[in-house]
Structure 1
Amino acid sequence: MAETPDEITRLKIVLARISRFVDKQVSGDGLTRTQLSVLGSVARLGPLGVGALADTEGMNPTMLSRVIGKLEGDGLLARTADPDDRRAVRVQVTDAGAELHRRLRSERTQLFADALDRLPERDADALRTVLPALEALAREIAMLSR
């Protein structure tokens, strides 16, 4: 069964609305969505080469370099020489960056947990059931943006 344009629009709108509401509730200490995403990727994946990070984030290296510079200036990321290739740069999270990432992740998790607890059980169960499909959708969209 094919989705109707209305269903696709509703899905797009509700996902964007959830994202905006979460961003509004858990501000990220003044960081942009892009900066938070880069910080989160480095915190989760460990020290990364700039090229690998650009691929992960779907960003061009020039823009990524600006984002890294901002996060480095804020003391959240650090650039180091790659131990295998001194010409290459690796990015790693600082203690302050790791702490901010943990705090924001915890606050966002609690926000979702509280909202799910207030939903009727059938709606919460439906969300758990559809989670693999939403993850697959996210992967497909990520592939299209590369």
Structure 2
Amino acid sequence: MDEESVIRLRNAIMRTGRRLRTTASEEGLTATQSSVLATLVRQGPTGAGELAAAEAVNPTMLSRVLAHLEEAGLATRAPSPDDARCTLARATPAGRRLVARLRARRAALLLERIEELDPAHVAVLLDALPALEALARVDEAR
């Protein structure tokens, strides 16, 4: 893949992702707050250090994000039962409902855009799904 193709792919992914992330702001969350909450829903109770690493944020920023989520009733923090020096964060039922609502809205928004495409482009997107999923896993493995 040449540099121009990489730039085009990045731009397409970034513009699409940016539009999908706006759904979180409609719920009063920043992109980082939404991402942290979604990670808690996906992974279950998670240590603060592991969560900061997964979200690529520093511990101070994560603490602020978790404080906001806690104030909003979307997450809780408590000492880890394995090590009281560590904090364990988890999504509340309200947090899980919000993430489900955001996922549904993002899926609906993406589907609206896909339905505007030529059927041949839709077929290409479907064929590209395994490669795009593999690309996402490469990043997650780091």
Shorter-normalised TM range: 0.7 to 0.9
Q: Mapping of 1:93-112 within 5 angstroms?
A: 93-112=91-110
2:45 equivalent in structure 1: 47
Q: Within the alignment, does 1:125 sit opposite 2:130 as a pair?
A: no
How many Å apart are 1:141 and its aligned residue?
Answer: 4.1
Counterpart residue type for residue 13 of structure 2: L
TM-score (norm 2): 0.87
Partner Cα separation in structure 2 for residue 26 and residue 35 of structure 1: 9
Gaps of 5+ in 2: none
Output one character per residue of 1:26-54: Cα deviation in whole Å (capped at 9) or x when no partner.
Answer: 63412111111000000111111112212
Q: Judging changes above 3 Å, is the alpha-carbon distance between structure 1 residues 17 and 100 closer, same or farther for their aligned structure 2 residues?
A: same
Aligned equivalent of 1:85: 83
Aligned length: 142
Cα distance, 1:114 vs structure 2: 2.6
> What SS is found at the alignment partner of 2:89?
strand
Q: What is the TM-score of this pair, normalised by structure 1?
A: 0.85
Are residues 1:4 and 2:2 paired?
A: yes
Residue of structure 2 aligned with 1:29, choices 2, 5, 27: 27
Structure 1: 5+ residue stretches without partners: none
- Counterparts of 2:75 and 2:116, CA distance in 1: 37
How far apart, in 2, do the equivalents of 1:15 and 1:89 lie? 34
Q: Percent identity?
A: 42
